[in-house]
Structure 1
Amino acid sequence: MWKKPPFGPDTLVFKIGGKIFLLVGLDQIDELRFNVKCNPERAIELREKYEHTVLPGYHMNKKHWNTIIANRELDDKKLEELILHSYSLIMESLPTKIKQEIKGGS
């Protein structure tokens, strides 16, 4: 059964175990941006180091979410690392039973 996207038709929502780890706007023509979860200390560090690329999460809890602007200040490997960090944070927060179901085991 199709569900209405939680943030409207112009936002792709990526989830693991029912929890969001990545949001990407489809209406961005000039500059791709996406939101990822981040631990609070690392979020501050990234925002200070990449002040034109890593911003407090747009329309999200700014303590735990960053908006990343794909403006080539960060290479593809770093962008992937930020997405995987978000995925890992969400995966770690899931109940053991759901983690096991996702991993396909016991």
Structure 2
Amino acid sequence: MNEMTLHKTAAACAEELPGAQLEHPFGDDWEVFKVRDKVFMLMTEVPGRPVVILKADPGEAHALREQFSHITPGYHMNKKHWITLEDREGVDEELVTDSYRLVVSHVPRAERPVDPHTYGTGTRAAR
């Protein structure tokens, strides 16, 4: 899987989320997606391989790392709360949306662009 496809797939998911914004606070090599100034997805290249880094519930993050070899602890992030995806099959709308909803749930209620408890739940597939 090449970098362009991995990053384009993740970015396409993130760009559809209400209030999501792309920034480059760490330079051109890092694409950082935020909602209300809180990070929910980062994309970069780690020596020769593209990665996507997402926020995750600690229990969910642990389960995903146990189940999928292409999901590892968050690169340069808190290993308990972030996961790194190194393969396109791991970047899907559900994982990106889960990261987004988790971050939105910590935004003050009046500033939330969506209800994190209901947004995106109608299309979720059972895991």
Normalising by the residue count of structure 1, what TM-score does the alignment of the two structures yield?
0.76
2:101 equivalent in structure 1? 88
Match of 1:18 among 20, 37, 42: 37
Size of the aligned set, in residue pairs, is 92
Are 1:32 and 2:50 counterparts? yes
Contact 1:14 1:23 in 2 (8 A): yes
Tell me if structure 2 keeps the 8 A contact 1:54–1:66. Answer: yes
Query: Stretches of 4+ moved more than 4 A in 1?
Result: 27-30
Specify whether residues 71 and 5 from structure 1 end up closer, same or farther in structure 2 by C-alpha distance, changes over 3 A only.
Answer: closer
Instruction: Tell whether 2:87 aligns with 1:70.
Output: yes
Greater Cα radius of gyration, structure 1 or 2 = 1
2:78 maps to which of 46, 54, 61: 61
Q: Percent identity?
A: 37
Give the C-alpha shift of residue 6 in structure 1: 2.3
Residue 98 of structure 1 is matched in structure 2 by: 111
What is the aligned counterpart of 2:28 among 9, 12, 26?
9
Residue 32 (structure 1) shift: 3.0
TM-score, length-scaled by structure 2: 0.64
User: Which residue of 1 is the match for residue 5 of structure 2?
Assistant: none
Aligned-residue Cα RMSD (Å) equals 2.1
Give the Å deviation of 1:56: 0.2
- Does the CA contact (< 8 Å) of 1:31 and 1:70 recur in 2? no
* Unpaired runs of at least 5, structure 2: 1-22, 115-127
1:13–1:24 Cα contact (<8 Å) kept: yes
